[in-house]
C-alpha cells in the first residue's frame, strides 16, 4: 500500500527545468565503451530517496534515540525534514538528468513490514523506486544503473529475502548476478548481454537468492563526515590522490551536519549548507587529474555538477579529448 508524503521540494526544479541527459551512456566515445565499466565517470545522488520525507509520521529507524525523544515537540519534524532532504528530483527525474548511481538506505515500516527509503524520516517506497528504474531502463536500452543498498534498519532475514526476491522479480535477466564479472566488463559487452542493473548489497545476510541478485564486485565509499566545506575538499583531494583499492570507489561530495550544526541553525537546511560546498566541489571536479568512477552530491541539478562529471568522460587520462566525442 502506498502512503502519502509531504513534498518538501520540487518547486525549484519546476521553475528551472531539467536538462535531460537520459542517453548519455549511449553517446559516450566508442573507445570508452570498450574499457572496463569503472573507467567511466558516473554521477550519483547522495541519499537518493530523500527528495521527500514524511513530517506527519514517526521518525524512521535510522533516527538517533534523542530524535525519537523530542519528535513529539511541534516543529521538530519539520526541522528534521529540512536537514534530511538531500535531493529535489524524484527517481525518474534523476535518471533522466543523467544520474546512474543510487545511494539507498532501507527500513521496514512497523506492522506492515513494507520497505521504505529513509533518512531520519520515512521517504518513498522501495517499490516505487524499483518501478521507476525498470521503466527508465526499458525506455533507454543503452543505459545501466547501479543500485547501492548500503544501510538497513529493522530488517530481519525474511525482510532481506523479500527485498532480494523483489529485485529479481522486477529486473530478472537485467541483473548482474554474483558470478557476473562486473569488474572486467565494458559497457558495450554489458549492454550486448542484456546486463543493465548492478546491485551492491552491503549486508552479510545469508539468503540463497542473494547470489542471483547482488554482485561480488567491491565498492568503497570514503566519507569526510564533516559540515565544513574546506575540510571536505581536503579529504577528497587526499583520498583520491591515492585512492583505496576496490572495483568501484565513490567520491562523496557531501557535507554532514552535526547536532550542533542543526541546533545552531534551526531555521536553515541542508540545502543551504550545501551551497557552501557546491562551487568548491565543481571547481575541483573540473580540474583534478585523479580518476573518479562514481561521484555523488546533494541537490545535483542546481549547479553544473552533472555536466562537469559527464565532461570527464570526454577527455583521456592525459586530459586531452578523445577523437570521437559525440
Instruction: Indicate which CATH number applies to the domain containing 281.
Output: 3.20.20.190
Other C-beta atoms lying within 10 Å of the C-beta of residue 56: 11
C-alpha grid cell, residue 178: 554474483
Question: What pLDDT sits at residue 325?
Answer: 35
Mean pLDDT of all residues in 114-121: 98
**Bigger pLDDT: 318 vs 156:** 156
- DSSP helix/strand/coil, 147: strand
Banded pLDDT at 20 (limits 50, 70, 90): confident
Banded pLDDT at 321 (limits 50, 70, 90): low
Q: Is residue 320 in some structural domain? A: no
**pLDDT tens for each residue of 76-98:** 999 999 999 999 999 999 999 99
Lowest average pLDDT, out of 24-33, 42-51, 69-78, 248-257, goes to: 69-78
Q: Is 46 a catalytic residue?
A: yes
User: Taking each helix axis from N to C terminus, what angle separates 278-287 and 229-241, rounded to the nearest 10 degrees?
Assistant: 20
Distances (CA, A) of 132 to 49, 96, 109: 12, 11, 21
Other C-beta atoms lying within 10 Å of the C-beta of residue 119: 27
CA–CA separation, 266 and 281 (whole Å): 25
Banded pLDDT at 146 (limits 50, 70, 90): very high
Q: Is residue 3 in some structural domain? A: no
Pick the catalytic residue: 119, 140, 160, 271? Answer: 119
Q: Evaluate whether 140 touches 26 at the Cβ level (below 8 Å).
A: yes
Banded pLDDT at 18 (limits 50, 70, 90): low
- Does residue 13 have a pLDDT over 70? no
**pLDDT tens for each residue of 226-265:** 999 999 999 999 999 999 999 999 999 999 999 999 999 9
C-alpha grid cell, residue 95: 535518471
- Does residue 324 have a pLDDT over 50? no
Q: Is residue 11 in some structural domain? A: no
- DSSP helix/strand/coil, 250: strand
Question: What pLDDT sits at residue 19?
Answer: 63
Residues whose CB falls within 8 Å of the CB of residue 234, separated by 6 or more in sequence, listed in order = none
Q: Is residue 277 in some structural domain? A: yes
- Does residue 12 have a pLDDT over 80? no
Q: What is the mean pLDDT of the chain?
A: 92
Residue 323 class from Cβ within 10 Å (0-12 exposed, 13-18 middle, 19+ buried)?
A: exposed
Banded pLDDT at 9 (limits 50, 70, 90): very low
Residues whose CB falls within 8 Å of the CB of residue 258, separated by 6 or more in sequence, listed in order = 227
Banded pLDDT at 285 (limits 50, 70, 90): very high
Banded pLDDT at 323 (limits 50, 70, 90): very low
Q: Evaluate whether 250 touches 64 at the Cβ level (below 8 Å).
A: no
Pick the catalytic residue: 46, 140, 160, 271? Answer: 46
Q: Is 314 a catalytic residue?
A: no
Distance linking the first and last C-alpha atoms of the chain: 44
Distances (CA, A) of 320 to 6, 31, 117, 313, 314: 47, 14, 40, 11, 8
Lowest average pLDDT, out of 160-174, 253-267, 312-326, goes to: 312-326
Mean pLDDT of all residues in 93-119: 97
Q: Domain of 111?
A: 19-314
Question: What pLDDT sits at residue 111?
Answer: 85
Residues whose CB falls within 8 Å of the CB of residue 227, separated by 6 or more in sequence, listed in order = 255, 256, 257, 258, 261, 273
Residues whose CB falls within 8 Å of the CB of residue 263, separated by 6 or more in sequence, listed in order = none
Q: Is residue 321 in some structural domain? A: no
Banded pLDDT at 120 (limits 50, 70, 90): very high
CA–CA separation, 158 and 156 (whole Å): 6
Q: Per DSSP, which regions of 229-320 are E strands?
A: 248-253, 294-297
Q: Is residue 191 in some structural domain? A: yes
Q: Evaluate whether 164 touches 201 at the Cβ level (below 8 Å).
A: yes
- Does residue 108 have a pLDDT over 50? yes
Mean pLDDT of all residues in 215-228: 97
- DSSP helix/strand/coil, 205: coil
Other C-beta atoms lying within 10 Å of the C-beta of residue 140: 18
CA–CA separation, 97 and 95 (whole Å): 5
- Total domain count for the chain? 1
Q: Is residue 319 in some structural domain? A: no
- DSSP helix/strand/coil, 104: strand
Among 159, 166, 191, 164, which Cα is nearest to 178's? 164
- Does residue 319 have a pLDDT over 80? no
Residue 132 class from Cβ within 10 Å (0-12 exposed, 13-18 middle, 19+ buried)?
A: middle
Q: Is residue 227 in some structural domain? A: yes
C-alpha grid cell, residue 118: 529513509
Amino acid at each position: 500500500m502506498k502512503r502519502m508524503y509531504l513534498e518538501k521540494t520540487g518547486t525549484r526544479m519546476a521553475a528551472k527545468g531539467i536538462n535531460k541527459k537520459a542517453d548519455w551512456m549511449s553517446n559516450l566515445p566508442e573507445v570508452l565503451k570498450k574499457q572496463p565499466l569503472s573507467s567511466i565517470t558516473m554521477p550519483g545522488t547522495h541519499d537518493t530517496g530523500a527528495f521527500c520525507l514524511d513530517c506527519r509520521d514517526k521518525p524512521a529507524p535510522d533516527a538517533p534515540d534523542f530524535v525519537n525523544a523530542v519528535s513529539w515537540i511541534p516543529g521538530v519534524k519539520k526541522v528534521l525534514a529540512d536537514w534530511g532532504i538531500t535531493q529535489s528530483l524524484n527517481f525518474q527525474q534523476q535518471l533522466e538528468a543523467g544520474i546512474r548511481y543510487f545511494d539507498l538506505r532501507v527500513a521496514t515500516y512497523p506492522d506492515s513490514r513494507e520497505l521504505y527509503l529513509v533518512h531520519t524520516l520515512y521517504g518513498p517506497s522501495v517499490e516505487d523506486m524499483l518501478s521507476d528504474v525498470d521503466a527508465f531502463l526499458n525506455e533507454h536500452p543503452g543505459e545501466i544503473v547501479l543500485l547501492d543498498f548500503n544501510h538497513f534498519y529493522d530488517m530481519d532475514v525474511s525482510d532481506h529475502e523479500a527485498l532480494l526476491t523483489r529485485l529479481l522479480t522486477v529486473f530478472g535477466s537485467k541483473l548482474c548476478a554474483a558470478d557476473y564479472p562486473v569488474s572486467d566488463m565494458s559497457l558495450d559487452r554489458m549492454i550486448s548481454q542484456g546486463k543493465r542493473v548492478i546491485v551492491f548489497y552491503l549486508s552479510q545476510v545469508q539468503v540463497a537468492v542473494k547470489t542471483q541478485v547482488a554482485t561480488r564486485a567491491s565498492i568503497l565509499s570514503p566519507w569526510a563526515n564533516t559540515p565544513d566545506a574546506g575540510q571536505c575538499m581536503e579529504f577528497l583531494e587526499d583520498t583520491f590522490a591515492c585512492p583505496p583499492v576496490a572495483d568501484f570507489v565513490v567520491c562523496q561530495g557531501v557535507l554532514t551536519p552535526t547536532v550542533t550544526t542543526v541546533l545552531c541553525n534551526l531555521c536553515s537546511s541542508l540545502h543551504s549548507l550545501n551551497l557552501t560546498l557546491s562551487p568548491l566541489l565543481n571547481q575541483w571536479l573540473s580540474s583534478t587529474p585523479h580518476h573518479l568512477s562514481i561521484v555523488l552530491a546533494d541537490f545535483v541539478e542546481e549547479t553544473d555538477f552533472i555536466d562537469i562529471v559527464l565532461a570527464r568522460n570526454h577527455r583521456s587520462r592525459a586530459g586531452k579529448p578523445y577523437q570521437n566525442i559525440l
